[in-house]
Chain A
Amino acid sequence: MKERLQELEQEALLKVEQAETIEELKSVRVEYLGKKGPITEVLRGMGKLPKEERPVIGQLANEVRERIADAIEEKQSRLEDEALEEQLKNEDIDVTLPGRPVQVGGPHLLTSIIEEIEDLFIGMGFEIKEGPEVETDYYNFEALNLPKGHPARDMQDTFYITEELLMRTHTSPVQARTMNAKNGKEPVKMICPGKVYRRDNDDATHSHQFTQIEGLLVDENVRMSDLKGVLQEFAAKMFGRERRIRLRPSFFPFTEPSVEMDISCKVCGGEGCSVCKGTGWIEILGAGMVHPNVLEMAGYDSEKYSGFAFGMGPERIAMLKHGIDDIRHFYTNDVRFLKQYHNA
């Protein structure tokens, strides 16, 4: 019997060896290890053996069985691997074909610039205030030290609706409104971004609608050097640490002193080139110390309180940063323009 088992083992291992498909392997398993297989038969015939031999043969039969099973298992996984290899060969795709487009929009360039500036000033402790785009003559002009008939009203050609109602020409009325709301007591530290309107013909450098961001800080002991510090911080973050700033005198009715802030030209580094018209400097914003009349009109004691204000044009900043040559691009909304700045 022992011989019979060894013979069976040899036979089975040979067949496993010869099997080429998983099906063949399966039939080897059924043939040798199945319930009607020769090994089972051997075990059945064990009753005829002497008692002492039975365990020995039984153990041998089990060992043979296990060895055959292991061999089948091993062969099977080998065959499966081969089959998979074969299958993968046929699953080749062209990885250069385009992906399924993901439809994603993005912000308008002006919004990106405005939000960047907002976040920058929020970081310095400023709040963001908004106000109406249709303003009263009082808040747009008078509260800002621009009484009726003031020559500086010529600087801003205004879309009037009635004699007392107009499209705001700057976001400064938001400052006046904010100060008024504080009753001349608390400090104010705010910026106000928004749309403004001027009676201009639209061309490459003029737009009857554009945006502005103005800032205001009113408190006890605000100094002009603070304005310079805040503006330098702004310029460094917005345009890069290597850019220098300079202030030069200017005029706005609501500030005194009034200044214009320039930054050193990026193109020539201050040497002078066509971009900066040979001056080495690029005009960025207007600023100044809040005029005492403006403080008093809003109820602040101008002996005790002082403040600074500044105002800038996001269009201009965007045009400088990105070399955009025509302000109308911002309002034409050509999809090819918009998409260029979705990652801005």
Chain B
Amino acid sequence: MLISLNWLKELVDISGYTTEELSEIITKTGIEVDGISEPEELPQGVVVGNIISCEQHPDADKLSLCQVDTGEETLQIACGAPNVKAGQKVAVAKPGAVLPGNFKIKKTKLRGEESNGMICSLQELGVNEEDVPEAFKDGIFVFPEDTETGEDAVKLLNLDDSVLELDVTPNRADVLSMVGMAYETAAALDRNYTLERPSYEEAKDKADSDVAVKIVDKEANPYYGAFVVQDVEVKESPLWLKNRLMAAGTRPVNNVVDITNYVLLEYGQPLHAFDRDRFNSDMIVTRYAEEGEILETLDGKMRTLSPHHLVITNGEKAHALAGVMGGKESEVHEGTTDLLLEAAYFDPQVVRQSANDHELRSESSVRFEKGLDVNRVAQAGERACELLQKYAGATILKGIAEEDHLSRKETVIRMETSRLNDRLGTKMEVQDVKNVLRRLQFEYEEKKGVFDVQIPSRRFDISIFEDMLEETARIYGYDHIPYTLPEDSGQAGGLTEEQRLKRNVKTFLEGAGLSETITYSLTDEKSAEEMISPELKDEQHGAIRLAMPMSEDHSHLRLSILPELLRTHSYNTARQQQNLAYYELGKVFISREDEHVQQPKEVLRAAGAVSGEWVANPWQQEKKEADFFVVKGIVEEMAGRLGLSFTYVKGEVQGMHPGRTALVICNGKTIGFMGQVHPRYQKTHDLKETYVFDLNMDLLLNLYEREETFVKIPKFPSVSRDIALVVDEKTSAGEIEETILTTGAPLIKQVRVFDVYQGEHLDPGEKSIAFRLLYQNPERTLKDKEVEEAHGAILEAVAEKHDARLRQ
């Protein structure tokens, strides 16, 4: 909201403070000042001039030659504005004047004729284009006839005003008006302010004899009041009024509309004026619209209504969308003479619904939605009547036609000084509390430090003790609250085992060469269905879609981290970053049923991707491209860190290379997969050969068991034997290893592959795998015989199970 300091100054004494100081105080007591616009380049040397004569320039069609009296002298000025006329009072920049943008006015000749100054438009004087009244948009500004020649135009136009831009929190709707800000400023500065009741002359006839008000739904519309205003003269508003509207960012239209807008700014109460003739009824009925009812609103749009939109009708048809916008038909126009002036209270939710459905958020609807002072509704109408009488010559019928169901129950809050101190940690005296209440202008009764505070209706945001706690704290000053530390609750802080493990896994992966990334959980529909880990594949019911995504790129909840992680790879690859190694620890979202109504299961996963050179030291001719076994090494070591061991079987995952993908298995359960990204996927995503892993951390953290007991370091030497086995090329090393371990137990301690060969010395379709076997007995030194026996048994077993023969 914009607050003109020139206006505020007339309500509250703010002298003694600079604009910055005032902003700081207001911010610290409650309303954040988000910005200050101070006139930086005030126009200089611009006065009100009287155009004595105005003739066509002899040599230029579009120029007029004016003789302008500036009070001190008469200047000849050439002017190109289409609306310039003799007899006008205008803003004249005299020679030597400086306009915004450091534009210096000099004596000059235009097409042979002298021009000693400039007649200015509002834009040239620094007014925002949007705030300029329609009549002066394309030409010079014209002052009212009774303006004094020679006066300072800058002052008259209020261009020396400073405007505060306030960021008002939703609870403080009470300050969405000058009156509200006046109370707030008075409390903040400890100065006085009281709102005076408007006064005007009433006609003999009574408003409620002239028009009847009928409310159909009391919940939706607890109060409706109508003033009957007659014989208005629709014309331009006085300058001061226009200035204030412009300072608040509202464009002046005509006196009637401007006055309702002005009262909205002043009181925070939206009003609406209907043209009485065009409203064409002695009855105002407020009701919900009928299905399909049509209303043309002021902006010229045809609105199709439904039964949750409240409308103001003349008993037959809708003339306004309650609280949001008036109807075109009964709009005030130049020929309007009689008005029905509405001052009403509509239910916030009802207005919100209409504003949302019709995408019409206005200064009015916002205020209805946030709440209004129930005691200021009719008073705002009176204020408008006062101004209409003064500036539009209106006759106002006596009283108001109204229907009133508004609750005006007073709120009284009990506040014990001791409880205030207990909650704030302060040591306020009773007198301190009294000072706060005096500044807020809240009435109270006090006995032995116990206050019963009567909350004025303008502060409809205050309803419970805690609200008063806040009022007291902010006026007393948060700076006056001491620093203490909470009493010890006896809780020792710390990470849970799972949190500690997660950190360990991250540290391990980083040590292994991977950089952590954080990617988006929301992805596009296609990516959401890709690279889903097999153990999730069975239980998932499709990716969950947002009801109203901002973009299709982020419309679905991910079922795998990898697609977004690989996007990161594409991004970096496109920026000449060659060797990439990333991981992410994050959640994927598994729907429990097809309708996606229940909260999904959130599964924590660790996924990684590497591409490019894994080892590279060019000058020593060392180079190793990332491959399957680089990633497998990381996964294997991670298992070790968690005290687990994984096995690997060939598997298929959508989006992955069919021959280079392994399912990772732990304790008989699939816990994820690893392998090469499908070459087709690599191609479409501009990826180099990329290897990934994706593990279910929830399962892993569950399986983890902390090794508590010390395993003795073996005292006795081990014996190693190497064997090279020739097998069918389809036989996997893992199967043979498994056979060796089960057959050789308990003496066999370790099996390691140290060579794999295929080629010249073997038959086609055969391969040779060389293993190093390590035997050890923790109790004593091994005897040759024991080793021979175990070794023999192993050779027999592999021959039998895998058709393996020893390579000679």
Could you list which residues of chain A lie within 8 angstroms of chain B, going by C-beta atoms?
97-98, 100-101, 103-108, 110-111, 115, 118, 121-128, 132-136, 149, 151-152, 154-155, 159-162, 164-165, 167, 187, 189, 195, 197, 199-201, 208-209, 217, 219, 221-226, 228-230, 232-233, 246-251, 256-260, 278-279, 289, 291-292, 306, 330-336, 338-339, 342
Contacts and interface: CB of A to CB of B under 8 A. Distances in A.
A246 B478 contact: yes
A159 B548 CA distance: 7
B637 interface: no
Contact of A159 (B482, B517, B546): B546
Q: Which secondary structure characterizes the binding site on chain B?
A: mixed
B602 A225 contact: no
B169 to A, nearest CB: 3
Nearest to B494: A122
Scoring B512, B544, B549, B550 by chain A CB atoms within 10 A of each residue's CB, the highest score goes to B550
B404 interface: no
Given A111-B506, A223-B422, A232 B483 contact: yes
B518 A246 contact: no
Given A208-B522, A335-B577, A151 B493 contact: no
A152 B805 CA distance: 77
Nearest to B572: A335
Contacts of B29: 248-249
B30 A249 contact: yes
Contacts of A332: 568, 571
18 contacts: A97-B619, A104-B513, A107-B506, A108-B515, A133-B589, A133-B602, A134-B599, A134-B602, A152-B171, A159-B522, A161-B544, A195-B586, A199-B548, A208-B550, A222-B486, A224-B425, A230-B485, A335-B580
Q: Helix, strand, loop or mixed for chain A's interface?
A: mixed
Interface in B478-521: 478-479, 481-489, 491-496, 499, 503, 506, 509-521
A256 B469 contact: yes
A134 B640 CA distance: 33
Nearest to B586: A195
B499 to A, nearest CB: 6
B547 A161 contact: yes
Contacts of A136: 599
Interface string B453-464: 000000000001
Contact of A167 (B426, B546, B577): B546
A105 B518 contact: no
B586 to A, nearest CB: 8
Interface residues of B, number: 97
Most buried by A among B485, B514, B577: B485
Contacts of A250: 32, 169
A125 B522 contact: no
Given A151-B370, A228-B481, A107 B510 contact: yes
Nearest to A247: B478
Contact of A105 (B348, B575, B583, B622): B583
B473 interface: yes
Nearest to B419: A303
A136 B598 CA distance: 9
A249 B474 contact: yes
Contacts of A330: 518
A206 to B, nearest CB: 10
Contacts of A336: 577
B507 to A, nearest CB: 8
Interface string B463-477: 011110110011000
A159 B549 contact: yes
A289 B472 CA distance: 14
